[in-house]
């Protein structure tokens, strides 16, 4: 079983809609969870992190964590064409080794 799983997409949403990106992980001992955004041809950049169960909001972005279900999600409200990118879920599984999912390609259509 893969350690971090994401739907590869592509996920296509119209401008202004809510984009919902999902991620599951296998290691129950995982402590911290991260969402990275990667534009085509560029390196990943951190956009959100969450350590505790529940929701964490930052501007148009909300990260949601449910450790019992081993599930973490990212919601993007009022999606913009500039949000079009691959979103990588990452999990700290061994206190330092960040394991990434394969990413979900998001396309926001004007």
Instruction: Answer yes or no: are the C-beta atoms of 102 and 6 closer than 8 Å.
Output: yes
The residue (of 43 and 69) whose beta carbon lies closer to other proteins is: 43
Contact letters for other proteins, residues 12-31 (x by CB under 8 A): -------------------x
Task: For the CB of residue 42, give the shortest distance to other proteins in the complex, in Å.
Answer: 8
- From 7, 20, 99, 107, residue interacting with other proteins (rule: CB under 8 A): 99
Work out whether 34 is an interface residue with other proteins (CB under 8 A): yes
Longest Cα separation, the chain: 41
Integer Cα distance of 105 and 9 in angstroms? 5
Query: Is residue 106 a contact residue for other proteins (CB under 8 A)?
Result: no
Cβ proximity of 13 and 19 under 8 Å: yes
How many residues belong to the site for other proteins (CB under 8 A)?
A: 23
C-beta separation of 91 from 25 below 8 A: yes
Give yes or no for residue 96 binding other proteins (CB under 8 A): yes
User: How far apart (Å, rounded) are the C-alpha atoms in residues 47 and 89?
Assistant: 11
Under the rule (CB under 8 A), what is the footprint of other proteins?
31-34, 42-46, 49, 51, 88, 90, 92, 95-103
């Amino acid at each position: 079983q893969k350690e971090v799983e994401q739907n590869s997409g592509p996920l296509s949403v119209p401008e202004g809609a809510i984009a919902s990106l999902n991620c599951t992980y296998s290691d129950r001992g995982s402590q911290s969870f991260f969402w990275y955004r990667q534009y085509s041809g560029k390196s990943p950049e951190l956009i959100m992190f969450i350590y505790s169960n529940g929701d964490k909001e930052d501007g148009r972005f909300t990260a949601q964590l449910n450790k019992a279900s081993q599930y973490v999600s990212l919601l993007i409200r009022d999606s913009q064409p500039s949000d079009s990118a691959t979103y990588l879920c990452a999990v700290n599984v061994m206190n330092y080794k960040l394991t990434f999912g394969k990413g979900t390609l998001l396309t926001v259509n004007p």
